[in-house]
Structure 1
Amino acid sequence: MAAHRYWRALSLEAYGFKGLELSEFQLMAGASRVDAAATLTANVAPASGSLASLKDDSLNTSAFWSAADVRALVLAWDFGSGGDQDIGDIRLGSAADPAKFLLVARMQFSDDGVTWINAFTASGIQWPGVRAKTASVVDNTGPNTVSLLHFNGANGSTTITDERGKAWTAQGNAQISTAAPIFVGPSLLLDGAGDWVQTTSGLTDFAFGTGDFVVECRFRTVKSGAQVLLDFYATGGAGKNWQLWLNGNRVPEWYTGGPSNAIALTANTGAVTTGDTHHVVVRRISGVLTIFVDGAPAGSAVDMNDYSNVGAGQFAVGAQVGARNAAYDVQGNIDEVRVVKGSGGVLRLPFVPAWMPEYDLATKYAINSTVYARPAFDTPSPTAAGNIPVYGVLREIPSRFRGRADYLTGVLGQGIGRVRGFTLDYVNPLNKPYPCRVVLVRESGNLTVREQWSKADGSYDFQFVDELQSYTVIAYYEGHAKRAVITDGLTRANGKVELMA
């Protein structure tokens, strides 16, 4: 992500409903704090304490906002002309009451202070204890993640940032695009004619040997034929190397190379659809290779291969480069590439979260051991050991413990629908944004599917619901004696149920 003069934090939410109190709100570039010289302002003055307390690096002073002010609160930093910073993390200081600690914050940047762009969202920030600072981590898989590409950046940029520090170069017309998000924000755009990105740094990190590994990416393709998503493949040499691709029928497949080439595992889900976003994961644990497509297991096989061959000469995203075949170039977008060498005891699958995010919390930066978002009325106890699940960690959830199927994968459909809109005031002044409690009801059986609070701008967004169902949205206007506004008959046919992009 590029450096910018202006940064702000908004969409703030505390653990409980007593308001928000912080002793520090620091902005980080990598492991370094960079906000000390910036001018900090707020659109709502603290009810007690001062903004200066968020910057003095003292845990003994704090600023407090009432619960009524938190939803509209925006904290803004101005780094001044020539002082642009690339913020990738935040560090918070707590006060005495865990219920007043920050759970959710969205960070945005701007170059002119007028037009703002989402940078990342910190969700479920873990309570650090009384008068303590949060500790930041890039990724919950720790040192076993050898490459992590978010493909964040300005539209058209060819700068590729790896959270594990590897140097990447863009080939052909490969570039960052903000036009068609896959996983919140920019993605890698490839035109299918000689485009890819690659690294030649630390290639032994991609040679897994006989150990455990996880390889994953998200993508959207507009090409009908075979194409290589991730490439560490070459012919010849000692040991095996590998490739994750879509075969000629657009079925995800794990392919091995080296002295003998072979298909190690083909997904049993059939072809992926062009124009839609997909998520493919391949993992090996204790010699068992498993492939997951869009969150569901799609086949397993015994795999005792020794992936020690580095003959490819590079690790590439979006094309077959090690044994170059231009016919396999990807045409479309790729995002969120992760390669993990070893398990570290946290790589548990399948890739189905215990609770789908209710806000736009598909965070690209796993900050402070970020956790799953929770509904507005389900307040977790930040002091209860083991109460907070870790967001981003691959949780193994036996089928008997999972929720209703339409929460995650759909009953009639695939669980890729979304219902969104705005809650606006219906008394003077008319159509002013009105944050309130919003409930999504599945009209078949009157099942309450989700509930959340609309944001300061009145927006709500229910994601990953059954796209083939009909829904009713109920908005409870707390300030008007809870008089509800009901919108029913929301379906794909009338455009009120959308597909997740």
Structure 2
Amino acid sequence: MTGAVGHRGLLLRGAASDPHFASVTSLLHFDGTDGATVFTDVKGRVWTAQNSARIETDYSKFGGASGWFENTPSIGSENGSRISTPDHADLRFGTGDWTVEGWFRPQTPVVGFGAFFRKGQNTTDGLQLAVMPGQLNLRANGTTDTTVGVSLSTSDFSHVAFVRDGGTVRFFVNGTQVGSASRSFNHTSTDPLLLGSVTGDARYAYKGMMDDLRITKGVARYTANFPPPTAPFPNS
């Protein structure tokens, strides 16, 4: 099947192949057997599961399974549900463009900050992305937040994309831009990449399901509204 051509000539999802696959630094489909703690990355990264992060087959967007992050955040707790992979230059975005996207089904009640992505522990060279039923959040430069209020479904998966496009960060839900802001920051943290929660304070944790997560370095895939994906992200 041939995908539609989007803004700046980018091929959108549903395509047989990804013209930016060489720039993809991580691709997790979250497929597998119920209860498994092995998270296969198409790009070959090794992920370690902690604190009940696992594959669940009760709900999925694609493939019959998704990642489940069973977080009940509490102040100072280290027990956040997460997966982690070691630092690599490909996971440091610097000052360039990037796209972090996936399918999310957050759960209520909202008991934490929803930080599903963190590389850098509140440091000036770190980056944190958060998804909650009521908002999306980007934190960079330590404690500088950009927040967008948006209603995310807790009964179905939503496609969420965080994009850095030059000096602008953009937020998309199901293909519609829901916010943007001018931001300047340099992401150079050498900390491991954490998905699901942070270390040291499990209030900063995402509670819910995640499916088909893709990280692209050097490409702002979406700079205008686009048709949301209709199939899993391509593996080539």
Both proteins in one fold, TM over 0.5: yes
Alpha-carbon deviation of 1:282?
A: 1.1
Question: Could you say which residue in structure 1 is the equivalent of 2:97?
Answer: 212
**How big is each residue's C-alpha offset from its partner over 1:238-293, in whole Å with a ceiling of 9 and x where there is no partner?**
x421111136x7301111144xx111x2224x332433322211111221111112
Read off the aligned partner of 1:190 and give its amino acid letter: F
Question: Could you say which residue in structure 2 is the equivalent of 1:370?
Answer: none
Question: 1:201 & 1:242 partners in 2: Cα distance?
Answer: 13
Alpha-carbon deviation of 1:353?
A: 2.5
**How big is each residue's C-alpha offset from its partner over 1:76-120, in whole Å with a ceiling of 9 and x where there is no partner?**
xxxxxxxxxxxxxxxxxxxxxxxxxxx69xxxxxxxxxxxxxxxx
Alpha-carbon deviation of 1:364?
A: 4.2
| Partners of 2:15 and 2:234 within 8 A in 1 | no
Alpha-carbon deviation of 1:198?
A: 0.9
| Partners of 1:224 and 1:250 within 8 A in 2 | no
Q: Residue 327 of structure 1 aligns to a residue in which SS?
A: coil
Question: Could you say which residue in structure 1 is the equivalent of 2:82?
Answer: 196
Q: Residue 253 of structure 1 aligns to a residue in which SS?
A: strand
- Asked if 1:302 is matched to 2:176, the reply is no
Alpha-carbon deviation of 1:351?
A: 5.5
Question: Could you say which residue in structure 1 is the equivalent of 2:76?
Answer: none
Matches within 5 A, 1:134-153: 139-153=18-32
Q: Residue 58 of structure 2 aligns to a residue in which SS?
A: coil
| Partners of 1:278 and 1:294 within 8 A in 2 | yes
Structure whose alpha-carbon radius of gyration is higher: 1
| Partners of 2:103 and 2:211 within 8 A in 1 | yes
Question: 1:280 & 1:151 partners in 2: Cα distance?
Answer: 16
Question: 1:159 & 1:199 partners in 2: Cα distance?
Answer: 12
Read off the aligned partner of 2:148 and give its amino acid letter: A
Question: Could you say which residue in structure 2 is the equivalent of 1:442?
Answer: none
Question: 2:62 & 2:54 partners in 1: Cα distance?
Answer: 16
> Which residue among 182, 198, 203 is the counterpart of 1:327?
203
Read off the aligned partner of 2:96 and give its amino acid letter: G
Alpha-carbon deviation of 1:319?
A: 0.8
Question: Could you say which residue in structure 2 is the equivalent of 1:231?
Answer: 118
Question: 1:124 & 1:340 partners in 2: Cα distance?
Answer: 16
**Residue ranges of structure 1 left out of the alignment (5+ in a row):** 1-102, 105-122, 126-136, 368-501
Q: Residue 160 of structure 2 aligns to a residue in which SS?
A: strand
| Partners of 2:170 and 2:179 within 8 A in 1 | yes
Question: Relative contact order (alpha carbons < 8 A, sep ≥ 6): 1 or 2 greater?
Answer: 2
Matches within 5 A, 1:44-83: none
- Asked if 1:352 is matched to 2:195, the reply is no
Taking structure 1 as reference, are residues 158 and 178 closer, same or farther at Cα in structure 2, changes over 3 Å only? same
**Residue ranges of structure 2 left out of the alignment (5+ in a row):** 3-13, 73-79
- Asked if 1:168 is matched to 2:37, the reply is no
Matches within 5 A, 1:469-484: none
Question: 1:340 & 1:124 partners in 2: Cα distance?
Answer: 16
- Asked if 1:252 is matched to 2:128, the reply is no
Question: Could you say which residue in structure 2 is the equivalent of 1:46?
Answer: none
Question: 1:363 & 1:293 partners in 2: Cα distance?
Answer: 17
Question: Could you say which residue in structure 2 is the equivalent of 1:316?
Answer: 194
Question: 1:325 & 1:217 partners in 2: Cα distance?
Answer: 24
Taking structure 1 as reference, are residues 124 and 190 closer, same or farther at Cα in structure 2, changes over 3 Å only? closer
> Which residue among 128, 147, 156 is the counterpart of 1:266?
147
Taking structure 1 as reference, are residues 173 and 282 closer, same or farther at Cα in structure 2, changes over 3 Å only? same
Q: Residue 328 of structure 1 aligns to a residue in which SS?
A: coil
Q: Residue 203 of structure 2 aligns to a residue in which SS?
A: helix
Question: Could you say which residue in structure 2 is the equivalent of 1:413?
Answer: none
Question: 2:215 & 2:135 partners in 1: Cα distance?
Answer: 21
Alpha-carbon deviation of 1:348?
A: 4.0
Q: Residue 158 of structure 1 aligns to a residue in which SS?
A: coil
Question: Could you say which residue in structure 1 is the equivalent of 2:166?
Answer: 286
> Which residue among 154, 157, 161 is the counterpart of 2:33?
154
| Partners of 2:101 and 2:215 within 8 A in 1 | yes
Alpha-carbon deviation of 1:176?
A: 0.9
| Partners of 2:141 and 2:185 within 8 A in 1 | no
When the two structures are aligned, how many residues end up with a matched partner? 216
CA RMSD between the two structures: 2.6
Alpha-carbon deviation of 1:183?
A: 3.3
Alpha-carbon deviation of 1:314?
A: 1.3
Alpha-carbon deviation of 1:366?
A: 4.6
Read off the aligned partner of 2:215 and give its amino acid letter: V
**How big is each residue's C-alpha offset from its partner over 1:289-342, in whole Å with a ceiling of 9 and x where there is no partner?**
1111221101111122111222xx211111123xx2112332221111111110
Alpha-carbon deviation of 1:212?
A: 0.7
| Partners of 2:42 and 2:235 within 8 A in 1 | no
Question: 2:56 & 2:223 partners in 1: Cα distance?
Answer: 30
Identity of aligned residues (%): 28
| Partners of 1:218 and 1:278 within 8 A in 2 | yes
Alpha-carbon deviation of 1:350?
A: 3.5
| Partners of 1:252 and 1:271 within 8 A in 2 | no
Taking structure 1 as reference, are residues 364 and 154 closer, same or farther at Cα in structure 2, changes over 3 Å only? farther
Alpha-carbon deviation of 1:124?
A: 6.5
Q: Residue 172 of structure 2 aligns to a residue in which SS?
A: strand
